[in-house]
Amino acid sequence: MRERQAAVVAVLLLASVGVGKAAAATLQSVIDDARQEGQLSIVAGESILGGANARLIDAFNKYYGLSIDVRFTPGPPVPAMVATVIQQTQAHKQAATDVIIGFSNHMFDLINAHAIQKPDWQDWAPNLKGPGLVSSEGEAVPVQSGTPGIAYNTTVFQSDDIPTKFQALLDPKLKGRVATTVYASYLDRLALPEMWGREKTFDFARKLSDQVGGLIRCNELNRLASGEFDVFGLTCSQTDPLVVAAKGAPVGFTLASDAPIIMLLYEAVPVMAAHPNTAKLWINFMSSPEGQKLLYEVSFADLSLLPGSQTAKSIAAVEAKGAKFLVIDVDFYRQHDAAAMNRDLAEAQKIFQTR
């Protein structure tokens, strides 16, 4: 009996050692496995990550000394893509994308559905070792910080006239010249107790509704540049107005100091990804100085948590004036009632849609 017990213990010890070795990936081992995979498929919205800029792909391969065939395919909106990945996980079918990209609420849903992997980032990923660079449970990796604000026509506003607060859109002189989003962006966040609270937020929404000349989407800034509207807020992030401005359109952007919010965009590897090792390398690369620099050049957004972030400079300028930013990360949804926020958002949308 004792010999049998000893044999069982020995087998268990060997198994645990084997598991330990398998789990202890190195950067080189992940690179080798990715080379065998030979491909990376990312399905996402056309504007995400700068619209799949070829420079990012070239830099990714150069970073690791690889020649991976990276394919970006324009996909459906993020919520639909997340739902697809969850359904494919539950059906044990290959994921439609090797890298799933989404905001905090989307990652929260994916984590709860056990639809994304929990790689051993700390063992091998050199760019993901700082605080906040991986979600608290290890699945999702933030890649960009989005900062909503106010876009304006630069032929109408200059210098001290530029609106720097969301509530500045209530100026009677702007009546009929204001645009806001069809989805009442961020009003559910503003309604939180740590921000404006529900009473102040919905009072503001009703007043803003009287000012609004039209409801537009965040990527319809040509309507601002054309002079159809003078000002637009809150934008989804800084990306759309800054990209349009860089092309020469008369559009400016400023953070709204009374609505200081940071929305984190994440990447993760689906459980059923066809090329998981290449996906992990991509995510690690996107947090590298090279990846972040290129990402900002093509999208005007990078991760404010990383050294050298351009977005962090804009945030710091507003913080210097006393603003305290609300960070919408994955843990935010562990601490807040998402259902209640959705109800507030629906109520705000109804105010604008029935104006």
Render pLDDT for 209-219 as a digit per residue (tens, 0 to 9).
999 999 999 99
pLDDT at 274: 98
CA–CA distance, 167 with 221 (Å, rounded to integer): 20
Render pLDDT for 28-40 as a digit per residue (tens, 0 to 9).
999 999 999 999 9
- Per-residue burial over 156-185, b if 16 or more Cβ lie within 10 Å, else e, is bbeeeebbebbbbbeeeebeebbbbbeebb
pLDDT at 10: 40
DSSP string, 45-101: -TTTHHHH-HHHHHHHHHHHT---EEEEEE-S-HHHHHHHHHHHHHTT---S-SSEE
pLDDT at 49: 73
Per-residue pLDDT at 81 exceeds 50: yes
pTM recorded for the entire structure: 0.89
Of 15-29, 102-116, 150-164, minimum mean pLDDT range: 15-29
In a 10 Å sphere around its CB, with 0-12 CB exposed, 13-18 middle and 19+ buried, how is residue 61 labelled? middle
User: Strands, E, within the chain: which ranges?
Assistant: 39-44, 69-74, 100-103, 141-146, 149-153, 178-181, 212-216, 231-233, 251-255, 261-268, 326-328
Sorting pLDDT into bands at 50, 70 and 90, what band is 51? low
Sorting pLDDT into bands at 50, 70 and 90, what band is 319? very high
Of 48-62, 265-279, 333-347, minimum mean pLDDT range: 48-62
Residue type, 53: N
Per-residue pLDDT at 106 exceeds 50: yes
Render pLDDT for 125-140 as a digit per residue (tens, 0 to 9).
999 998 999 999 899 9
Mean pLDDT, the chain, integer: 91
Question: How many C-beta atoms lie closer than 10 Å to residue 195's C-beta?
Answer: 20
Question: How many C-beta atoms lie closer than 10 Å to residue 86's C-beta?
Answer: 21
